[in-house]
Chain A
Amino acid sequence: MFEYSPAPESRSLVSFETSYGHFIGGKFTKPSNLYKTINPATEEVLAEISHGTDKDVDAAVKAARHAYEKVWSKLPGSERGKYLYRIARIIQERGRELAVAETLNNGKPIKETRDFDIPTVAAWFFYYAGWADKLDYAGLGANPKAHGVAAQVIPWNFPLMMLAWKVAPALAAGNTVVLKPAESTPLTALLFADICQQAELPEGVVNIITGYGDTGAALVKHPDVNKVAFTGSTDVGRVIAKAVAGSDKKVTLELGGKAANIVFDDAPLDQAVEGIINGIFFNQGHVCCAGSRLLVQESIQDEFLKKLKRRMEQLRVGDPMDKNTDIGAINSKAQLEKIDALVRQGVAEGGELWAPQCELPRNGFWFRPSLITGVSPANTVAREEIFGPVLSVMTFRTPAEAVTKANNTPFGLSAGIWTEKGSRILKLADQLNAGVVWANTFNQFDPTSPFGGFKESGYGREGGRHGLLAYLKGGN
């Protein structure tokens, strides 16, 4: 293996305040009820964050309502679009700063934040900016209407990207928003507040309220919220769906997954290995659509696993700020403990664990990229979402068996197919119960392409024309 000299990105590209309040009505409130947010790669405290109370939530919803009634709903779509274009441009201009901030607070490699997360964020705003004056073409007939105030709760795995997926279509459609970032990754959302100020976005159109699950619960339950959008675990998704039952609130949920990545014997194996690696180790496996179940055709299992292990031994685990790092830190101690417990259970149930012997940093939260072989469909590691760099391996013999095993899960977010045969790809794609199917590629995202799940992976789509529909109702 090649030796790499350290190539750290500059920490000085970003500076944080000592403490942050909430961003309500275009201004930051006085910091209060503080908790610490850290860099999970070093456990260094980055800033102190306000834990939002019911009162804070109410103030944010009121600001969003006021902005909706007085300003945002009265602006023509073309002018709303121009604000979104401004935001897209500022994100492009401040891209490196945002990438560094995201890596520091999340633990994911700078290579990913710099080349994937932040460019995708800018693209999302740019794309939906163009929709703001074209809502008549969204598919709901002429003159569709916004819902009003959208409550948006997002996870820690792609902090700013999840914000973009939520905020951009909501604003384009004419809603105002109150967004709550995850408790462990609030910093890029707070930098986004500064971007809104630079863009001179009218006060109250975007409000950001930080805190824990109770803050999010208060936001979702607030009676003056018209639309709830949540990305996170299926368990919390259930709680939200119950909480809004009987109300007029519209809901979209983007929840967990346990994607099958199906490799046939005629697949280009080296390309498939890269795709499987990307599918499960991208972002430390903290990806709801991660290809966490490898279904490999029995006849090529040995050869394929050999190639896969050899590739895994080349993965560089460590300092997320290093430009060569492939796998960064696990986002939190709690998540590390969860991954560890599930993997132990997988081994207790008969799975065989394999991981390359790489050296891990002493501080921070780390987990080696891992394979579990000898897994049967009934095992915990084949059923439950681990949300970490752990791949469960199973085999199949026929396409029909592959489909049955792939669909044998309560989830239905994504799936992968690896074969040279086009007709097989298209037939399988029809049969897989998943909202996104990747063929001979994996983990592709684009603002023009709808993303979201079947079954317990949630409902509603984000991205593309379909993503707009979640924030509109048919007019007349």
Chain B
Amino acid sequence: MRLDVRKTYKLFIGGKFPRSESGRTYELNDHQGKFLANVAQASRKDARDAVVAARAAQSGWASASAYNRGQILYRIAEMLEARREQFVAEIRAMTGVSSSKANAEVDAAIDSWVWHAGWSDKIDSVAGSMNPVAGPYFNISTNQPTGVVAILAPQDSALVGLVNSIAPAIVSGNTVVVVASEGLPLSAITLTEVLATSDLPGGVVNMLTGSAKEIGPWLASHQDVNAIDLEGAHSPVELEISAAETIKRVIRANSFSRGDSRGSLQHILALMEVKTVWHPKGH
């Protein structure tokens, strides 16, 4: 009989897979209480490192063409489809759902990447505008990514909720620091392995596992984070107050549905800034 080789579940920061600098892990059991993995428990320092990585990657990712970003998001769907068995197995181990239910969740996650991929080069065609101002001016409004987005991922979703939190942020050129569901972290780390093989530049998505309760406040108050998604927050009101200090854009919990095979344009736009350009016309 051959002994299987187990995977070490680590963090994902700047395109690399480090352990937590704190050296901490927490024990994750399956739905029947049997040991599954020792998951890295990210610290404040890990969160700050992740913000640095996200900031470093942001301008490059935002200046990639929309076509290029769209192809990379579609590539993520391709890679996810190719590794569906692994996701199904992890979701079932963590939650105990049936195979068909786990498969349906993976289906929705894949299709949502495809749905979001298609938006990259259409956002401005739908939500931008040429403004007929009264003077002799050319006046155009476009949408630009907000910058670095902190995401406290939904606690009750292993994959689809996570995808529907990350995709609407990165499709437009934001980079993200994600705190995965504390109780359902395995598919989050496996998702980063998909991201790492999809031509997504390192640092665009940074994944922390551990306690959103512990890390969330550091991200909410961080000076170099532009927006925070509080879907999986433990004390959302406190975090929203903290985020107000730096005028962060805040997505409150339950603002958008995250269980479907498609997202919401409003969610994408909530993480973008409108920029209006004026230029005179005349010979």
Secondary structure of the A side of the interface? helix
Residue of A nearest to B118 (CB): A130
Binds B, one of A62-70, A333-341, A366-374, A423-431: A423-431
A265 proximity list for chain B (CB < 8 A): none
- Scoring B74, B114, B118, B281 by chain A CB atoms within 10 A of each residue's CB, the highest score goes to B118
Whether A268 is near chain B, meaning CB under 8 Å from some CB there, is: no
- Chain A 130-141 interface mask (CB, 8 Å, partner B; 1/0): 111110010000
Cross-chain contact A81 with B282 (CB below 8 angstroms): no
Whether A464 is near chain B, meaning CB under 8 Å from some CB there, is: yes
CA distance A369 to B66 in the complex (A): 36
Residue of B nearest to A419 (CB): B283
A464 proximity list for chain B (CB < 8 A): 125
Cross-chain contact A427 with B281 (CB below 8 angstroms): yes
Whether A158 is near chain B, meaning CB under 8 Å from some CB there, is: no
Whether A129 is near chain B, meaning CB under 8 Å from some CB there, is: yes
Cross-chain contact B122 with A85 (CB below 8 angstroms): no
B71 proximity list for chain A (CB < 8 A): 126
Whether A127 is near chain B, meaning CB under 8 Å from some CB there, is: yes
B114 proximity list for chain A (CB < 8 A): 78, 81-82, 85
Whether B94 is near chain A, meaning CB under 8 Å from some CB there, is: no
Shortest distance from the beta carbon of A89 to any chain B beta carbon, whole Å = 8
Residue of A nearest to B117 (CB): A130
Given A423-B281, A426-B279, A430-B281, A133:B126 Cβ within 8 A:
no
Whether B26 is near chain A, meaning CB under 8 Å from some CB there, is: no
Residue of B nearest to A92 (CB): B71
Cross-chain contact A426 with B281 (CB below 8 angstroms): yes
Cross-chain contact A423 with B280 (CB below 8 angstroms): yes
CA distance A375 to B120 in the complex (A): 47
Shortest distance from the beta carbon of A6 to any chain B beta carbon, whole Å = 34
Residue of A nearest to B280 (CB): A423
Cross-chain contact B125 with A78 (CB below 8 angstroms): no
Set B67, B262, B282: member contacting A123, Cβ < 8 A: B67
CA distance A400 to B70 in the complex (A): 43
**Residues 418-469 of A at the B interface (beta carbon under 8 Å):** 422-424, 426-428, 430, 447-448, 464-465
Given A78-B111, A78-B261, A424:B70 Cβ within 8 A:
no
B61 proximity list for chain A (CB < 8 A): none
Cross-chain contact B115 with A78 (CB below 8 angstroms): yes
Given A422-B279, A427-B282, A427-B283, A134:B125 Cβ within 8 A:
no
Cross-chain contact A448 with B261 (CB below 8 angstroms): no
Cross-chain contact B121 with A127 (CB below 8 angstroms): yes
Cross-chain contact B122 with A448 (CB below 8 angstroms): yes
**Residues 239-283 of B at the A interface (beta carbon under 8 Å):** 261-262, 265, 279-283
Set B121, B262, B283: member contacting A424, Cβ < 8 A: B283
Cross-chain contact A134 with B122 (CB below 8 angstroms): yes
Cross-chain contact B282 with A423 (CB below 8 angstroms): yes
Residue of B nearest to A138 (CB): B126
Given A123-B67, A126-B70, A465:B126 Cβ within 8 A:
yes
Shortest distance from the beta carbon of A136 to any chain B beta carbon, whole Å = 10
Cross-chain contact A130 with B122 (CB below 8 angstroms): yes
Whether B119 is near chain A, meaning CB under 8 Å from some CB there, is: yes
Cross-chain contact A130 with B262 (CB below 8 angstroms): no
CA distance A126 to B114 in the complex (A): 11
CA distance A448 to B185 in the complex (A): 38
A82 proximity list for chain B (CB < 8 A): 114
Whether A399 is near chain B, meaning CB under 8 Å from some CB there, is: yes
Cross-chain contact B125 with A424 (CB below 8 angstroms): no
- Chain B 47-84 interface mask (CB, 8 Å, partner A; 1/0): 00000000000000000001100110010000000000
Cross-chain contact A426 with B138 (CB below 8 angstroms): yes
Shortest distance from the beta carbon of B36 to any chain A beta carbon, whole Å = 33
Cross-chain contact B118 with A134 (CB below 8 angstroms): yes
CA distance A137 to B125 in the complex (A): 9
CA distance A81 to B71 in the complex (A): 14
**Residues 393-428 of A at the B interface (beta carbon under 8 Å):** 399-400, 422-424, 426-428
- Chain A 118-160 interface mask (CB, 8 Å, partner B; 1/0): 0000010011011111100100000000000000000000000
Cross-chain contact A399 with B281 (CB below 8 angstroms): no
CA distance A129 to B116 in the complex (A): 12
Cross-chain contact A130 with B281 (CB below 8 angstroms): no
B261 proximity list for chain A (CB < 8 A): 78
A465 proximity list for chain B (CB < 8 A): 122, 125-126
Residue of A nearest to B121 (CB): A448
CA distance A399 to B283 in the complex (A): 7
Residue of A nearest to B124 (CB): A448
Shortest distance from the beta carbon of B131 to any chain A beta carbon, whole Å = 14
CA distance A430 to B282 in the complex (A): 10
Cross-chain contact B262 with A133 (CB below 8 angstroms): yes
CA distance A81 to B118 in the complex (A): 9
A134 proximity list for chain B (CB < 8 A): 118-119, 122
Residue of B nearest to A129 (CB): B118
A447 proximity list for chain B (CB < 8 A): 67, 121
A448 proximity list for chain B (CB < 8 A): 66, 121-122, 125
- Chain B 87-116 interface mask (CB, 8 Å, partner A; 1/0): 000000000000000000000000100110
**Residues 16-49 of A at the B interface (beta carbon under 8 Å):** none
Shortest distance from the beta carbon of A120 to any chain B beta carbon, whole Å = 11
Cross-chain contact B115 with A133 (CB below 8 angstroms): yes
B279 proximity list for chain A (CB < 8 A): 422-423, 426
Cross-chain contact A131 with B115 (CB below 8 angstroms): no
CA distance A134 to B279 in the complex (A): 32
Cross-chain contact B121 with A137 (CB below 8 angstroms): no
- Scoring A82, A85, A130, A399 by chain B CB atoms within 10 A of each residue's CB, the highest score goes to A130
Cross-chain contact B70 with A130 (CB below 8 angstroms): yes
Shortest distance from the beta carbon of A76 to any chain B beta carbon, whole Å = 10
A126 proximity list for chain B (CB < 8 A): 67, 70-71, 74
The 4 A-B pairs with the shortest beta carbon distances in the complex, nearest first, are A130-B118, A426-B281, A465-B125, A427-B281
List 6 A-B residue pairs with CB atoms under 8 Å apart, sorted by A's residue number.
A82-B114, A134-B118, A137-B126, A137-B265, A426-B138, A427-B282
What residues of chain B have their CB less than 8 Å away from a CB belonging to chain A?
66-67, 70-71, 74, 111, 114-115, 117-122, 125-126, 136, 138, 261-262, 265, 279-283
Using A85-B74, A130-B118, A131-B122 as known contacts, list a sample of 7 further A-B pairs with CB atoms less than 8 Å apart, ordered by residue number in A. A78-B114, A127-B67, A132-B118, A423-B282, A424-B283, A427-B281, A428-B283
